Amino acid sequence: MLFQWKVSKRKNTINEQSGQAQTVPSGEIDNRLDANIETIRRTTGNSTDVVIRRFMLGKEKNIQAAIIFLSGIVDESMIYQFLLESVVQIDFPSSCLPNEALLYVEQKIAAAGKMRRMKQWNHLFLSLMSGETLLFVDGVSEALSIDTKGGEHRAIEEPSTQLAIRGPREGFTESLGTNIAMIRRRIKNPNLWVEAITIGEVTQTNVSLMYIKGIANDEIVEEVRTRLRRIHIDAILESGYIEQLIEDQTFTTFPTIYHTERPDIVAANLLEGRIAILVEGTPFVLVAPAVFIQFFQAVEDYYARFDIATALRLLRVLIFFLSLIAPALYIALTTFHQEMIPTQLVIAIAAQRESVPFPAFVEALMMEVTFEILREAGVRLPRAIGQAVSIVGALVIGQAAVEAGIVSSTMVIIVSITAIASFATPSFAIAISARLIRFLLMFLATLFGLYGIMIGVIFMTLHLCSLRSFGVPYMSPLAPLIPTNIGDTLFRFPIWALKERPRLINETNMIRQGKQQRPMPPNESKKEGDDH
Amino acid sequence: MTIKRWCLFLVVLLIHITILSGCWSKNELTDLAFVIAVGLDKTEDGKYVETFQVVNPGNVAGATQRGGGSGGIPVTLYTATGDNLVEASRKGSKKISRLVYYAHTNLVVIGEELAKEGIMDVFDAIERNPQFRTTATVVVARKQTAEELLSVLTPIDKIPASQIIKTLQMTEKIWGENLDVHAGEIIEALSLTGKEVVMSSFRLEGNKNTGKQQKNVQSIEPYAKLHADELAVFKKGKLIGWISGEDARGVLWVLNKIRQTALSVDWEQKKEAVVYKVMRAKTKVIAQMNKGTPVISVFIEAEGDVGETLVPFDLTNPTQIAKLEEKIEKEIQKEVQKAIQRVQQEKSDIFGFGEVIHRSYPDEWKQMKKTWNERYFPRLQVKVKVDAFVRRTGLRNKSYLK
């Protein structure tokens, strides 16, 4: 609240400052080639990757022309083979005006898919910067922009964040076109619509909005569109920028927009009526609206049979709670409710605590923080050193600390279980929010014991129920309870029982499959089919 | 703006309140003295002596790999004297460096002298204290004080209190001459007129002085040993008599406490020739009125195996089995009848027959209530009906005996 107030006061000044430090020359291009080249040189600051190649056009080679492109982000072999070679070699009509020469190149010579004539400098620069080649002809106040996008990209690899034992092995790359294609290949339907938006005043990042017309809720699509258009920022370097700029609630540890590296997950979500936001330069695709239970749905839940999927889903919810309250529970039980621990166990724990000089809270906090340090170090370090760190860490935490009598071995077990539990959550985004809340609950447990944990969990639940993602209640279909969609929450009903798409996200095109999809012997299915 | 500031101020204030009020009931594990057993005695001048058996966590098995060390004793005994139990308990703090914590007290031992004087007053403090569990087992120290019974080291279960509790539970389950009675059940029996208190006793035998030392557990045969003893019968909270052996088991039959036991019957002139292992048993007690006098019927259902035969016995023959079942039924019936007569001599209704009548015939009970133990119970007609069933014959049908 306070932050919003401060921002609104300064809004006007910020908006004007946003954008570029130095403006691109406005207006149209000149008809003199030299002047145009000079403008480009000046604007790009003579950058070395701007390639300017002058040559002569026409039958008598008397018309000056130049192509300009950025090396590295264009397909150079295409420029040389199909554009430059043919432009220089081909015969032009005998008496040829510069204007006609340009037309001739556009229509007869250049073998590229997409070509546009442009006059405005800002359009031209945008094309140049996104990998197109500009063709200037002396004496013409128009330029031709030829699509020659290309260059080096990371190949499609197995996603590194959301691994699956069964399921497609390909993951998104940094290339927007490749990512869109990967989704297209999965949903061969003209109703899969892609909208392009450019965001970022300096970076001019291409962002694509993807949804299935007729399944996605138009109002939500419009809402996403408006929120994206409202963004005025200098740079979008990763989809995380967009996520933070368009989410419903900022002050929450829970993610209200889902992100994934897997095209099959995006395809499944599009088919449920959700909207994908693809950002150039990152393999992480945003999916909105997101609901709480979505973060517990691993992709394999749908590829494995339902009984196994249900068991794993329940396990994951248990894991979430374990990673949330395990240390808090330890603190509460050992400092307030010793009567709740079985006698044998309480004596064993007491024996270990005999030599520990700290209160349970300090002990737990110390171990949790140590673990977080190790985890953070392990993530940031190069892989080879990372392993060394984890070995040292395991020894330091696991043995030396216990032997030195600084922590009890029960605490080590608790911390280890918590740590492993937080890694077992399929979505890193929700695991990390559980980690933060864990510390809060530990603090409450120190003050009030189990009562404090209950208060904390109740507050967390209230907060979760108050969240919205693009207008969809975050806890749906659990709260508000939607019985027809309950089949894909804590449980995962058989595929043939999941007849409807999630309500609230989509309200028009609900039915997902035909009647009687449950496999059964031929005679019986015929009988039952007649009943319907 | 000002409203928002006020809100912020209030939030900060509220956070402080929560922190200030917190932690008042917080106790670290290292600040607690886990009292595992409490012994209660009375001095000659009428003061209570409370004995605490406090666990020494570092020396309990399982924690000894580290630090616990050699020669550590798992429990320590402290005693304190006071006019009442709370006073004695609080005075104990003079000797114990940590907070006396009763939530894990699983055993209450009552000295025989105190039991004879009456246990009516003792249980109020136990029931009132929120820490104290009413599921704690209660036993009487036979022929000694509670303090004496508790001052012994035991070999297998390192904590003597655990030794007593587990012995009692196990023997009740597989032999059935002793009762594992909880404090809650005793409080219930004390408050009812139609039921009297019965509980097991324990005895420490051998060299008591050596029993207190580590030496006791380092010998293959401990110098001092604990063992479960006779059943103590109370009347109006006072110990009045002892029941032992088969009579004690008969009491357990009536109380529906028999789970497993073994009994032998005569077969073809040979005494105690076939052993029947009871594996499951159930008892129902029903009250009826016969011309104004109450009649109690005890129905016993037993199911079990043949455990041993000392005569050639054809177990494949159904008529033989039927005959055996009949003999077992008679044997159990005899045992139970004898036990009931024995208790009737004590004039104390430990079976709770009075309560059965109370539930079935509340109006008639009102008249019998006052003189129940003196007039009605000793002359009460009790019918015992037994239904025994041989389920299995073990791994052998025909014995190798010829």
Rounded to 10 deg, the angle between the A306-335 and A409-424 helix axes is 150
- How far apart, in whole angstroms, are the C-alpha atoms of residue B255 and residue B200? 14
Q: Give the pLDDT band of residue B19 (cuts 50, 70, 90).
A: low
- Main-chain dihedrals φ then ψ at residue B187, nearest 5 degrees: -60, -40
Both tokens of residue B310?
């000392």
pLDDT at A34 over 80: yes
Residue B62: its pLDDT value, please?
A: 58
* B260 token code pair: 């497993």
A348 neighbors B24 (Cβ within 8 angstroms): no
In this structure, the number of other CB atoms found within 10 A of the CB of residue B156 comes to 10
Q: What is the side-by-side order of every strand in the sheet holding A192-199?
A: A192-199, A205-212, A275-279, A285-288, A258-260
| Per-residue pLDDT, A18 | 46
Which amino acid belongs to residue A412? V
Please list, in sequence order, all residues whose beta carbon lies within 8 angstroms of the beta carbon of residue B396, skipping any fewer than 6 positions away.
Answer: B315
Give dist(CA B55, CA B52) in Å, integer. 9
Pairs of CB atoms within 8 A across A/B = 83
Closest CA to B77 of B137, B179, B159: B159
Tell me, what's the pLDDT at A17? 46
Instruction: Give residue A3's pLDDT band: very low, low, confident or very high (50, 70, 90).
Output: very low
B312 near A CB under 8 A? no
| Residue B23 pLDDT greater than 90, yes or no | no
SS (H, E, C) B257-292: CCCCEEEEEEECCEEEEEEEEEEEEEEEEEEEEECC
Q: Give me A100's structure tokens.
A: 């006609």
- Report residue B67's pLDDT band, with 50, 70 and 90 as the boundaries: very low
Lowest mean pLDDT of A73-82, A86-95, A326-335, name the range. A86-95
Q: Does B10 touch chain A (CB under 8 A)?
A: no
The answer to whether the Cβ–Cβ distance between A353 and B30 falls below 8 Å is yes
Q: Would the CB atoms of B22 and A339 count as touching at under 8 Å?
A: no
Range with the poorest average pLDDT among A357-361, A397-401, B215-219, B319-323: A397-401
Nearest chain B CA: its distance from A158 CA (Å): 47
What one-letter code names the amino acid at B287?
A: A
- CA-nearest of B385, B367, B384 to B376 is B367
pLDDT digits (tens, 9 = 90+) for A162-189: 888 899 999 999 999 999 999 999 999 9
Beta bridge pairs of residue B82: B48
How far is Cα A62 from Cα A96, in angstroms, rounded to an integer? 9
Give the mean pLDDT of B34-58: 92
- What is the distance between the alpha carbons of residues A78 and A148, in angstroms, rounded to a whole number? 7
Lookup: tokens for A392: 């040292």
| The residue type at A146 | I
What is residue A59's predicted lDDT score, i.e. its pLDDT?
Answer: 74
A201, A232 contact by CB (below 8 A): yes
Above 70 in pLDDT, residue A7? no
Q: Which residues pair with B41 in a beta bridge?
A: B49
**Which residues of B fall within a CB distance of 8 Å from A354?**
30, 57-58, 67
Share of chain A above pLDDT 90, in %: 40
* pLDDT over threshold 60, residue A300: yes
pLDDT in tens, A475-493: 988 988 988 888 888 899 9
pLDDT at A197 > cutoff 60: yes
Partner residue facing B63 (CB), from A334, A348, A360: A348
Q: At what angle do helices A360-380 and A383-395 cross, to 10 degrees?
A: 160
Between A397 and B192, residue with greater pLDDT: B192
The mean predicted confidence, pLDDT, of chain A is 86
**How high is the pLDDT of residue A373?**
87
Query: Across the interface, which of B22, B55, B67 has its CB nearest the CB of A347?
Result: B55
Residue A306 has pLDDT above 70, yes or no: yes
Res B283: pLDDT:
96
B187–chain A Cβ distance below 8 A for any pair: no
- The confidence score (pLDDT) of residue B68 equals 43
Nearest CA distance, A347 vs chain B (angstrom): 5
Q: Does the beta carbon of A3 lie under 8 angstroms from any beta carbon of chain B?
A: no
Residue A1 has pLDDT above 90, yes or no: no
Burial class (CB in 10 A: 0-12, 13-18, 19+), B132: buried
Domain with CATH 3.30.300.210 in chain B: 246-392
Calpha distance B402→B399 (Å, rounded): 8
Each residue of B358-370: pLDDT tens digit? 999 999 999 999 8
On the question of pLDDT at A15 being above 50, the answer is no
Peptide bond into A289 cis (omega under 30): yes
Stated as kind and residue range, the H or E segment containing B219 is none
Please, which residues have CB within 8 angstroms of residue B212's CB and are 6 or more apart in sequence?
Answer: B151, B152, B153
Q: Which residues contact A457 (CB under 8 A, 6 or more apart)?
A: A324, A325, A441
Beta-carbon contacts of residue A325 (< 8 Å; ≥ 6 apart):
A438, A441, A453, A457
Name which of A1, A346, A403 is nearest B34 (Cβ-Cβ): A346
The pair of three-digit structure tokens given for residue A276, joined into one six-digit string = 């994908």
| Contact with chain A for residue B402, Cβ under 8 A | no
| DSSP assigned state of A487 | T
Query: Per-residue pLDDT averaged across A18-36, rounded?
Result: 74
Give the bridge partners for B111, in sequence order: B141
Contact A52, A68 (CB under 8 A): yes
Is the pLDDT score of A303 beyond 60?
A: yes
Q: Which residues pair with B300 in a beta bridge?
A: B283, B386
A273 touches chain B (CB under 8 A): no
Name the pLDDT band for A505 (thresholds 50, 70, 90).
confident
The confidence band for A77, taking pLDDT boundaries of 50, 70 and 90, is confident
Compute the mean pLDDT over every residue in chain B, rounded to the nearest whole number. Answer: 90
Return the SS3 of A28: strand
Q: Rounded CA gap, B366 and A195, in Å?
A: 90
Main-chain phi, psi angles of B79, to 5 degrees = -130, 150
Question: Are B338 and B247 in contact, with CB atoms under 8 Å apart?
Answer: yes
- Would you state the pLDDT for residue A330? 94
Which of A123-137, A308-322, A515-529, B69-83 is least confident? Answer: A515-529
Q: Burial of B44 by CB count in 10 Å (0-12 exposed, 13-18 middle, 19+ buried)?
A: exposed
**pLDDT tens by residue, B172-209:** 999 999 999 999 999 999 999 899 999 999 999 999 99
Task: Name the class of domain B246-392.
Answer: alpha beta
Section A351-368 average pLDDT? 89
Q: Say yes or no to pLDDT of B291 above 60.
A: yes
For B153, the token pair is 């080291």
Q: What is the pLDDT of residue A151?
A: 80
Report the candidate in B374, B278, B385, B390 with the shortest Cα–Cα distance to residue B337: B385
- Give the Cα separation of B244 and A401 in Å (integer): 56
Query: From residue B264, how far is each of B152, B243, B344, B390 by CA, in Å?
Result: 36, 21, 26, 13
Tell me which long-range contacts A7-10 makes (C-beta under 8 A, separation of at least 24): none
Helix axes A360-380, A409-424, angle to 10 degrees: 40
Q: Please enumerate in sequence order all residues whose Cβ is within 8 A of that of A53, keeping only pairs 6 or more positions apart, or say none.
A: A66, A67, A68, A84
| Distance from C-alpha of A408 to C-alpha of A391, rounded to nearest angstrom | 20
Q: Do residue A346 and residue B25 have CB atoms under 8 angstroms apart?
A: no
Determine whether the interchain pair A334/B28 forms a contact, defined as Cβ–Cβ distance below 8 Å: yes
Q: CB of B310 within 8 A of CB of B273?
A: yes
Rounded CA separation B94/B182 (Å): 30
Instruction: Determine the residue of chain B that is closest to A455 in CA distance.
Output: B18
Which of B18, B25, B26 is best to mutate for the A interface (most A CBs within 10 A)? B26
Strands B238-243, B224-235: pairing kind: antiparallel
Nearest CB to A447; choose among B18, B60, B104 = B18
Establish if B192 touches chain A: CB-CB under 8 angstroms. no
CA–CA separation, A251 and A274 (whole Å)? 23
Contact A471, A220 (CB under 8 A): yes
Q: What is the pLDDT of residue A9?
A: 45
Cα torsion angle, A102, A106, A112, A113, sign:
positive
Q: Do A335 and B63 touch (CB under 8 A)?
A: no
**Each residue's pLDDT tens digit, B141-179:** 999 999 999 999 998 888 999 999 999 999 999 999 999
* B237 closest CA partner among B198, B264, B210, B292: B198
The first and second tokens of residue B334, run together, are 């005899």
